[in-house]
Structure 1
Amino acid sequence: MDASILLVGGDDLLPTLLERIRDVVTCTLEVVPSPSEAVPLIQAQQPDVIILQSNQLESLALCRQVKEQTKLAWIYCIVLETSLSGLSDDRRQYLLQIEARASALENGADAYLWLPQTTATGEPLEREMLIQQDRLLKSQILCGLRMVQTHRELIRTNDILSAIALSDPLTELNNRRALDWELPRQVQNSRMRLEPLSLLILDIDFFKTINDTHGHAVGDRVLQLISSRLRHNLRFRDTLFRYGGEEFVIILSSTDEMEALLVGRRLCRLVSDQPFSIDDTVNLLVTISAGVAALRADDDPKGTSLLRRADQYLLRAKAEGRNRVIGFLDDCEEELGTRG
Structure 2
Amino acid sequence: MDFRRLKYYRHNSLILVTSGDRQILSAIAQVLAAEKYNFITETSGEKAWEIILQKKPAIVIADWTIPDVSGLALCHRSKSNLEHPELMAIYFVLIVEDANSQQRQIGLDTGVDEFLNDPIDSSELKARLRTGLRLTALTQSLTWTNQRLLAHNDLLDALSLSDSLTKVLSEQAFADAMPKMMMQLKGFGTYKSYRFLSVLIVDIDLFKSIVDSYGEKIGNEAINAISGRLSHSCMANSLIYRHGLDEFVCVTPHGDAASGTQLSQNLLTSIRSHPIAVSSGLLFPLTISIGGVVTALENQNQQIPELSFDELVSLAEQYLLQAQKSGGDRDYIEIFE
TM-score, normalized by the shorter chain, greater than 0.5: yes
Report how many aligned residue pairs link the two structures.
Answer: 293
Structure 1 pair 51/292, CA: closer, same or farther in 2 (3 Å)?
farther
Where 1:293 maps in the other structure, the secondary structure is: strand
AA at the equivalent of 2:307 = D
Counterpart selection for 2:160 from 158, 165, 179: 165
Give yes or no for contact 2:264–2:331 (8 Å, CA) kept in 1: yes
1:94 paired with 2:96, answer no
Distance in 2, matches of 1:219 and 1:63, equals: 59
Contact preservation (8 Å) 1:200, 1:292: yes
Aligned pair in 2 of structure 1 residues 76, 34: CA closer, same or farther (>3 Å)? Answer: closer
**What displacement does 1:317 show?**
1.2
Partner of 1:106: none
For the residues of structure 1 that align with 2:256 and 2:150, how far apart are their CA atoms?
38
Change (3 A) 1:136 1:203: same
**Offset at 1:133?**
0.8
- Structure 2 Cα separation of the partners of residues 8 and 308 of structure 1: 65
Going from structure 1 to structure 2, the CA distance change for 1:81 and 1:145 (only over 3 Å counts) comes to closer
CA offsets, 1:282-336, max 9 Å, x none?
1110000111223465233xx212211221211111122211121113x99xxxx
The answer on 1:242 being equivalent to 2:242 is yes
Is the partner of 1:294 in helix, strand or coil?
Answer: strand
Aligned equivalents of 2:122, 2:100: Cα separation in 1: 23
1:85 and 2:96 equivalent? Answer: yes
In structure 2, relative to structure 1, the CA distance for the partners of 1:146 and 1:269 (3 Å cut) is same
In structure 1, the residue matched to 2:123 is 128
Offset at residue 35 of structure 1 (A): 6.2
> Which has the larger Rg?
2
- In the alignment, the residues of structure 2 paired with residue 175 and residue 157 of structure 1 have an alpha-carbon distance, to the nearest angstrom, of 19
Q: What is the alpha-carbon root mean square deviation over aligned residues?
A: 3.8
Structure-2 change in CA distance of 1:51 and 1:94 (3 Å): closer
Helix, strand or coil for the counterpart of 1:65? coil
Q: Distance in 2 between matches of 1:25 and 1:185?
A: 55
Distance 2:248 2:126 in 1: 66
Could you tell me how far apart the structure 2 residues matched to 1:25 and 1:276 are? 67
Q: Which residue, out of 149, 174, 197, partners 2:144? A: 149
Provide, for residues 30-64 of structure 1, a one-character-per-residue CA deviation record: whole Å limited to 9, x for no partner: xx95767987x79xxxx9x8767763498348722
Which residue does the alignment assign to 2:334? 328
Give the Cα separation in 2 of the matches to 1:35 and 1:312.
Answer: 67
Q: TM-score, length-normalised on structure 1? A: 0.72
Q: Distance in 2 between matches of 1:226 and 1:322?
A: 16
Overall identity of the aligned pairs, in %: 20
The whole-number CA distance in structure 2 between the counterparts of 1:55 and 1:8 is 18
Where does the alignment leave 5 or more consecutive residues of structure 2 unmatched?
39-45, 63-71, 300-305
Residue 158 to residue 281, structure 1, CA distance change in 2 (3 Å): closer
Identify unmatched segments of 5+ residues in structure 1: 27-31, 68-74, 102-111, 333-340
Partner of 2:288: 288
Q: TM-score, normalised by structure 2?
A: 0.72
Kept in 2: contact 1:290–1:317 (CA 8 A): yes
Partners of 1:55 and 1:6 lie apart in 2 by 23
Contact 1:260-1:292 at 8 Å conserved across structures: no
Question: Does the C-alpha gap of structure 1 residues 314 and 148 become closer, same or farther in structure 2, counting only changes over 3 Å?
Answer: same
- In 1, the alpha carbon distance for the partners of 2:92 and 2:313 equals 61
| CA distance, structure 2, for counterparts of residue 201 and residue 100 of structure 1 | 63
Instruction: Provide the rounded CA distance (Å) in 2 between the counterparts of 1:284 and 1:314.
Output: 22
Structure 1, 200-209 or 77-86: larger mean CA deviation? 77-86
2:253 matched residue in structure 1: 253
Residue 132 of structure 2 corresponds to which residue in structure 1?
A: 137
